[in-house]
Amino acid sequence: MTTLNIALVAHDRKKEEMIQFTIAYEHILKKHQLFATGTTGTRIMENTNLTLHRFMSGPLGGDQQIGAMVAENKMDLIIFFRDPLMAQPHEPDIIALLRLCDVYGIPIATNMASGELLVKAVENGDFAWRNMYHQEEK
């Protein structure tokens, strides 16, 4: 199967959950190209052996950078642990990212439960349908 482009994003109060998630699924994630927003990416690299491309922090444009990859069909999956109980200063950017995922049919997990389902689907090869997009790039 083709290597997938996977974005990892977590709001401040969800960063520890993301660390635990990436530790638990490191054996799956390490086989793919990983991207993350600033602080989340730093925390993941400090706590795992994963390497990833770090974008800017979410409030400084990182969500929009990931959104640009979605719009260019260069992102296969987003795992975004959102904090629904805390107002975010960049809420319009978050809503725009969710909208782009809906427009372009990119799977997005917004909590640990849906993240686990999607990463298990990756492990099982259920993302093979994304291969056609990767072949178009060549």
Q: How far apart are CA 49 and CA 120, in angstroms?
A: 20
Q: How far apart are CA 71 and CA 45, in angstroms?
A: 27
103-to-7, 45, 56, 108, 123 alpha-carbon distances in Å: 17, 31, 23, 12, 25
- Active site residue: 12, 63, 93, 102, which one? 63
Q: What burial class does residue 88 get, using C-beta atoms within 10 Å of its C-beta: 0-12 exposed, 13-18 middle, 19+ buried?
A: middle
Q: How far apart are CA 90 and CA 69, in angstroms?
A: 18
Examine the residue annotation and report whether 63 is marked as an active-site residue of this protein.
yes
- The residues annotated with a catalytic role in the active site are 63
